[in-house]
Amino acid sequence: MGCLGTISYTFFLLSYSSRNPIRSGPEGFQFSRALKSSSRSMYRGLSLRTSMGEETAASMARQDERPSRGIECSVRKVPHVLTVAGSDSGAGAGIQADLKACGALGVYCSTVITAVTAQNTVGVQGVHHVPEEFVGEQLKSVLSDMHVDVLNIGNMLLLGAVLNCCVLEMLRLKQECFLLLRLSMFYVKNSRNFQFKAALVVDPVMVSTSGDVLAAPSILSVFREELLPMADIVTPNLKEASALLGGVQLETVSDMYSAAKSIQSLGPRNVLVKGGDLPASKDAVDIFFDGEHFHELRASRIKTCNTHGTGCTLASCIAAELAKGSSMLPAVKVAKRFVEVALDYSKDIIIGNGFQGPFDHLFKLSRVCNSCKGQRFKPSDLFLYAVTDSGMNKKWGHSITDVVKAAIEGGATIVQLREKVAETRDFFKTAEECLEMCRSYGVPLLINDRVDVALAIDADGVHIGQSDMPARVARILLGPEKIIGVSCKTPEQAEQAWLDGADYIGCGGVFPTTTKENNLTIGLEGLKTVCLASKLPVVAIGGIGVGNAHSVMKIGIPSLKGVAVVSALFDRECVTTATKMLHSVLMDVVSTPN
């Protein structure tokens, strides 16, 4: 017996509209009628009236009382997509793409694997279908235990007639998934702020990008008649849209509008017809139709061969955004933007020898690593640390980019933008320009205080003080690769900076300064104390210039790596000359034996 016949529907069905099951929110929830009953239940974990089903329901009721896993921690709900798809050994598409896309968007992704392919960038060398019972086993495992927000039915599901049953199974499971979600909502609604947002995303992979038809005609009808009416969104490419509509020619944007409308009339609540293959189109145009309104979504067409997996990725991103609570159109827009950026980022990467390569979903991570050229922070970068000051630039009629360039040409080894008065938008723009400049010289650029600006421009890091955002939080926000410096005046602060995951400390004021108001001067003795205690590299700051830099560096404590200066460089007519002079003093210290 196929999967279909083995499902038990011995459970109370919720007030349920198969046309629009997720539209009724918590208010619409009620047990109303029993559906069919059957004595056998293969999927007892999904059945709510069998003993196993009652257990499932009960276990949901107990979620708040779940036994401690040995660690005391608060409970945080994670958006969760369950993706049902095939495995791509080349990892560009299928399950692997779904996992990466969801991960990149901060959403948990569980998986049900329907087929395993031997595949690379050259082609598909083999397909091994997972037996349908075992597809069911996987579904049961996930759905009976975990809270799933969105079901994403993707690539490879329809590959091979054997999966016919599984398509139908999906229909049941979609219903059961809703039931579970609604039940879990019922049980937890008094104890948690639970938002019901289950949805079904369907990527109708029937025709591959290379033009191969992956779905048998019999499956097409199952698809049209059974799966589409359940879908909250279906995302066909031009060839799939054509196949769904009986082979109509789709050659223009106007054809795509008609196709979106016709497919929507088959039942899905929303349709996204993807025009990536549209001939003679400058942009990548997709047509979104929600049954009432059309939206023409355009993105720049990225010139790249690395497009394998874009369809799965787009669908997964939509699912991920829905799981986070987004409504449909914004989810589609975010997904499209994600794919565009990922393609652009990956346009020149080379993986495999085939014609169509994969792209990098985790570009955000690699961007950080690449920008640091494999070594994110070198303590020696603290040697001559230039900290800018907009007041001084104004006084001398200097632009910030000019002084940054001048300082670097004079020998600055790291630059910090310290901007206390500018509007955020102006600072953001300036910081972007300075970053480009610093990158061209291979000098790290840090942002003073503003973790948001550092993140926005992808700067190399931040410098924060004792009254700024805690370094521990900045580390969480910036990730492991960015440089974080912390101002410290005491050994205790230095210890805390180390615990919080900082990379270096700035220690001062070594001498009195007029650049920073009400700054406590700790003197050379205070500097020595902190340097001796610090597990992190130290840069000295405060009133340091050509006249006293020598005495600072001469304390000779190994953790002291350099000096940070503002006025000695920037309260000068010629910043390059001032920087060169300080650089030469510092070089004298390191080249003179004690």
Ligand X SMILES: Cc1nc(C(=O)O)sc1CCOP(=O)(O)O
Ligand Y SMILES: Cc1ncc(COP(=O)(O)OP(=O)(O)O)c(N)n1
Contact residues for Mg ion, defined by CB under 5 A: 449, 465, 468
Distance CA 101, CA 313 (A): 6
Give the pairing of strands 124-129 and 108-119.
Answer: antiparallel
Among 159, 322, 387, 531, binds ligand Y (CB under 6 A): 387
Nearest-approach distance from CB 426 to ligand Y, in angstroms: 18
Two structure tokens written together for 29: 């929830």
State residue 120 phi and psi, 5-degree precision. -145, -165
Beta strand spans in 9-160 (E): 12-14, 31-34, 80-88, 108-119, 124-129, 150-153
Distance CA 222, CA 211 (A): 21
- Residue 509: asked if its preceding bond is cis (omega within 30°), the reply is yes
Residue 566's binding partner among ligand X, ligand Y, Mg ion, none (Cβ under 5 to 8 angstroms by kind) is: ligand X
The catalytic site residues sit at: 274, 307, 309-312
**Nearest CB to Mg ion, comparing residues 203 and 449:** 449
Give the pairing of strands 12-14 and 31-34.
Answer: antiparallel
Binding characters for ligand X, 459-498, by CB under 6 A (x = yes)? ----------------------------x-----------
Q: Identify which range of 45-53, 159-167, 234-242, 509-517 contacts ligand X by CB under 6 A.
A: 509-517
Nearest-approach distance from CB 452 to ligand Y, in angstroms: 15
> Token match 């985790």: residue?
362
In the region spanning residues 515 to 534, those forming contacts with ligand Y, defined by CB under 6 A, are 516
Among 236, 508, 526, 537, binds ligand X (CB under 6 A): 508
State residue 433 phi and psi, 5-degree precision. -65, -40
Q: Identify which range of 300-308, 477-485, 514-522, 546-554 contacts ligand X by CB under 6 A.
A: 514-522
Exposure string (b/e) for 384-422, b if CB count within 10 Å is 16 or more? Answer: bbbbbbbebbeeeebebeebbbbbbebbbbbbbbbbeee
Distance CA 276, CA 264 (A): 20
Among 315, 564, 565, 578, binds ligand Y (CB under 6 A): 564
Q: Identify which range of 70-78, 101-109, 137-145, 501-509 contacts ligand X by CB under 6 A.
A: 501-509
Exposure string (b/e) for 166-192, b if CB count within 10 Å is 16 or more? Answer: bbbbbbbbbbbbbbbbbbbbbbbeeee
**Nearest CB to ligand Y, comparing residues 458 and 468:** 468
Closest CA to 453 of 435, 465, 467: 435
3-state secondary structure 354-404: CCCCECCCCHHHHHHHHHCCCCCCCHHHHCEEEECCHHHHHHHCCCHHHHH
Among 390, 496, 513, 559, binds ligand X (CB under 6 A): 513
Residue 497 touching ligand Y (CB under 6 A): no
At 513 the three-state DSSP class reads coil
Count of residues of this chain found to bind ligand Y when the rule CB under 6 A is applied: 17
Residue 559 touching ligand Y (CB under 6 A): no
**Nearest CB to ligand X, comparing residues 121 and 493:** 493
Residue 487 touching ligand Y (CB under 6 A): yes
Among 45, 53, 509, 526, binds ligand X (CB under 6 A): 509
Distance CA 432, CA 522 (A): 35
Closest CA to 506 of 448, 471, 463: 463
CA distances from 240 to 28, 83, 221 (A): 35, 20, 13
Residue 513's binding partner among Mg ion, ligand X, ligand Y, none (Cβ under 5 to 8 angstroms by kind) is: ligand X
Task: Identify the DSSP state of 213.
Answer: B
Q: Identify which range of 81-89, 257-265, 537-545, 551-559 contacts ligand X by CB under 6 A.
A: 537-545
In the region spanning residues 407 to 446, those forming contacts with ligand Y, defined by CB under 6 A, are 416, 418
Among 53, 358, 506, 545, binds ligand Y (CB under 6 A): 506
Nearest-approach distance from CB 288 to ligand Y, in angstroms: 46
Nearest-approach distance from CB 294 to ligand X, in angstroms: 55
Residue 453's binding partner among Mg ion, ligand Y, ligand X, none (Cβ under 5 to 8 angstroms by kind) is: none
**Nearest CB to ligand X, comparing residues 317 and 578:** 578
* Residues binding ligand Y (CB under 6 A): 385, 387, 416, 418, 448-449, 463-465, 468, 485, 487, 506, 516, 539, 541, 564
